[in-house]
């Protein structure tokens, strides 16, 4: 069976928990000793698109775990050529990692513009304009806060949150990746994740996700039944 795919970039500073988050999403288990990502690692999750009432269609979600080290910034552009969705990850106990998400979004969408695709963000940190960005991106965005267990209180967390999710036109979730049972049983989090992944598929396949499309064939073509997670 030919299974369609979408590409989702997972971006954020080094050490915020991108690899641990992706492992949780793909394998529903906690990764206690994550490795440092050099370049990019590709992980695959099977997502059931649909509302169960009319039958679901499986899709491969290619989750691109992009290394956050500044020493590899110049080479990251090759991963930004095709973007169907972006997950922005920050550490809830590190406010700087949250504020840096603007730079990550600018880097990814700015690269698309240089490749001939429209981006609402101009190059250069001084040219970032949230009003220009709001509601104009055709790339669905999800904001994820990790290490919830390291935040002293919800009150402290809310004080440090500047409303970036609203600025990006994104949904947001906060979680502790080590609490697998809580993650899997949280209807709100699971609902937001399903809604986000469905939205990425809708955008990629132009509102017709139930028919096989050729839109993705210019990107990676992988035999997922034989190839494990790939690392670049």
**pLDDT by 10s per residue, the chain, length 232:** 688 999 999 999 999 999 999 999 999 999 988 888 888 899 999 999 987 766 789 999 999 999 988 877 778 888 898 999 999 999 999 999 999 999 999 999 887 554 444 444 444 444 555 554 544 468 999 999 999 999 866 555 544 455 889 888 899 999 999 999 999 999 999 999 999 999 999 999 976 655 444 444 444 433 333 334 554 4
Instruction: Identify the pLDDT of residue 180.
Output: 97
- The CATH topology of domain 5-220 is Rossmann fold (3.40.50)
Confidence (pLDDT) at 114: 46
Which three-class secondary structure string do you get for the chain?
A: CCCCEEEEEEECCCCCCHHHHHHHHHHCCCCCCCCCCCCEEEEEEEEEECCCCCCCEEEEEEEEEECCCHHHHHHHHHHCCCCCEEEEEEECCCHHHHHCHHHHHHHHHHHHHHCCCCCCCCCCHHHCCHHHHCCCCCCCEEEEEECHHHCCCHHHHHHHCCCHHHHHCCEEEECCCCCHHHHHHCHHHHHHHHHHHHHHHHHHCCCCCCCCCCCCCCCCCCCCCCCCCEEC
Instruction: Tell me if 57 sits within 8 A of 50, measured CB to CB.
Output: yes
Check residue 90 and give its pLDDT: 96
Asked if 105 contacts 121 with a C-beta cutoff of 8 angstroms, the reply is yes
pLDDT tens, residue by residue, 168-181: 889 999 999 999 99
The whole-angstrom separation of Cα 125 and Cα 192 is: 30
Q: How far apart are CA 144 and CA 173, in angstroms?
A: 5
pLDDT digits (tens, 9 = 90+) for 175-225: 999 999 999 999 999 999 999 999 999 999 976 655 444 444 444 433 333
Residue 1 CB: number of other CB atoms within 10 A? Answer: 3
Neighbour count for residue 186 (Cβ, 10 Å): 15
- Give the model's pLDDT for residue 179: 96
């Amino acid at each position: 069976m030919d299974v369609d795919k979408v590409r989702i970039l997972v971006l954020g500073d080094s050490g915020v928990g991108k690899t641990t988050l992706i492992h949780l999403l793909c394998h529903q288990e906690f990764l206690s000793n994550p490795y440092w990502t050099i370049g990019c690692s590709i992980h695959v999750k099977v997502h059931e698109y649909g509302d169960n009432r009319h039958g679901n269609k499986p899709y491969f979600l290619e989750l691109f775990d992009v290394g956050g080290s500044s020493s590899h910034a110049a080479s990251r552009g090759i991963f930004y050529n095709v973007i169907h969705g972006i997950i922005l990850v920050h550490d809830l106990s590190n406010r700087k990692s949250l504020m840096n998400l603007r730079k990550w979004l600018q880097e990814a969408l700015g690269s698309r513009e240089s490749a001939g695709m429209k981006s609402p963000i101009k190059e250069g940190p001084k040219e970032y304009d949230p009003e220009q960005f709001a509601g104009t991106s055709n790339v669905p965005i999800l904001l994820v806060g990790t290490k919830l267990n390291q935040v002293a209180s919800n009150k402290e967390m809310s004080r440090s949150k500047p409303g970036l999710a609203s600025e990006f036109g994104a949904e947001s979730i906060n979680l502790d990746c080590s609490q697998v049972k809580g993650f899997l049983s949280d209807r709100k989090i699971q609902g937001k994740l399903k809604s986000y992944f469905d939205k990425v598929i809708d955008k990629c396949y132009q509102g017709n996700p139930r028919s096989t499309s050729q839109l993705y064939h210019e990107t990676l073509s992988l035999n997922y039944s034989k190839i494990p997670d790939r690392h670049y």
